[in-house]
Amino acid sequence: MALESVIMETLSWQEGAALLALCHVYYAIVWFIPGLWCAISRAVGQDPCLTMFVVAIFFKAQQFGTIAWFATSNQTTNLLPDILSGDVLYLIAGLLLVVVGQVFNYGAVKALGRDGIYYGFRYGKTIPWCTSWPYGGGRLTLPHPQYAGAIMSIAGMGLLLATPTLLRAGVAYLALSWIACYVANGVMEEFVHQLDWATQRSIKKR
């Protein structure tokens, strides 16, 4: 009975944003303190990229569960009919953004592999510089294509969930807060990459 009451409780967009941010806080900790994650992974006898991959799967499930909880707990009428009866431009744009975003996300994962995606070089692994699509080798390339793809997918999902009820509940704010997490991760990685490059350059000059 207690569990049922928790599941049926309305989730505010602020609470949803906090739950969605947990994954990105984890990524930041691993990025800035890679030795800690290496130690944890060694303790369980596993490669740090593999353990990070497993944890990432858990967080993805947690994030999609959060979105489902927010949508179903705030939508007072049937969600799917409201989505399908909405503005057709929202539907088309939302679906297009989700599909294109996932194409870029899949391309990034395929190009970098597990070690490249899950911070292998932060654990001391040699990761070759990627020049294939979507990082290069074509016209449709983007900086940080995995994060750009995720942002497009979130924006598309926000458009698909833009029912009058969910808009009043703050679905736009929820989507924007999640996008902000990906932007922060991208800035974090770019900053550390530039810092590492500058440090290595300084060492070579000595």
Task: Provide the pLDDT for residue 8.
Answer: 59
**Quick one: tokens of 192?**
């550390």
pLDDT at residue 79, as a whole number: 83
Residue 123 CA: distances (Å) to CA of 21, 47, 191, 196: 23, 10, 18, 14
The angle that helices 145-160 and 88-117 make with each other, rounded to 10 degrees, is 150
CA dihedral 103, 122, 180, 91 (to 10 degrees): 10
Sign of dihedral through CA atoms 170, 173, 178, 181? negative
Q: Exposure of 47 by Cβ count < 10 A (0-12 exposed, 13-18 middle, 19+ buried)?
A: middle
Number of H helices, E strands in the chain: 9, 0
pLDDT attached to residue 203: 30
Query: 10 Å Cβ neighbour count for 108?
Result: 23
d(CA 62, CA 23): 9
User: What pLDDT does residue 33 have?
Assistant: 92
- Say whether 149 sits in a helix, a strand or coil: helix
Q: What's the pLDDT at 5?
A: 46
C-alpha 111/C-alpha 58 separation (Å) is 23
pTM, two decimals, is: 0.85
Classify the C-alpha dihedral 17-20-22-26 as positive or negative: negative
- Return the pLDDT at 199: 35
pLDDT along the chain (206 residues), means of 10: 55 97 95 93 95 96 96 86 83 96 93 92 86 76 86 96 93 97 90 50 34
Tokens of 137: 């080798």
CA dihedral 137→139→140→144, nearest 10 degrees, is 50
